[in-house]
Amino acid sequence: AQSVTQPDIHITVSEGASLELRCNYSYGATPYLFWYVQSPGQGLQLLLKYFSGDTLVQGIKGFEAEFKRSQSSFNLRKPSVHWSDAAEYFCAVCMDTGRRALTFGSGTRLQVQP
């Protein structure tokens, strides 16, 4: 069965510092890949997605992610973190055909220090 691993449960960075959140997946083929963010009191917001093509994808709020097939990874990055980025981040995958249910990682909670 497919699985998604986010090895970092909690990360703290200083405002203005760079950020990388890790995501690894286990799948029989290349799935569709997503990053979602959940801010306090809010629902899940889609940050970015990868279906095919260019392995570096740009998303909203200045985030980007890079798909690396050889490492089965889809890490999320931001060059300079803002205090408003404090939230919980979820990596998710689904099949490229057929079943569309998303499989989520356990989430990474980001804390931003002033």
Partner 1 sequence: EAGVTQFPSHSVIEKGQTVTLRCDPISGHDNLYWYRRVMGKEIKFLLHFVKESKQDESGMPNNRFLAERTGGTYSTLKVQPAELEDSGVYFCASSLTGVEQYFGPGTRLTVT
- Residue from 7, 51, 60, 111 in contact with partner 1 (CB under 8 A): 51
Distance of CA 5 to the CA centre of its chain: 11
β-strand 32-38 against 103-104: which pairing, if any? Answer: unpaired
**Binding region for partner 1 (CB under 8 A) out of 16-24, 56-64, 79-87, 90-98:** 90-98
70 near partner 1, judged by CB under 8 A: no
Contact of 16 with 63, CB cutoff 8 Å: no
**Binding region for partner 1 (CB under 8 A) out of 52-60, 69-77, 78-86, 101-109:** 101-109
69 near partner 1, judged by CB under 8 A: no
Choose between 69 and 99: whose C-beta lies nearer to partner 1: 99
Alpha-carbon gap, residue 59 to 48, rounded angstroms? 4
Cα–Cα separations (whole angstroms), residue 10 to 52, 87, 107:
30, 10, 9
Choose between 56 and 101: whose C-beta lies nearer to partner 1: 101
Query: What's the CA dihedral at 86, 46, 31, 18 to 10 degrees?
Result: -30
Least separation in angstroms between residue 36's CB and partner 1 is 7
The DSSP symbol for 2 reads -
- Residue from 2, 15, 19, 49 in contact with partner 1 (CB under 8 A): 49
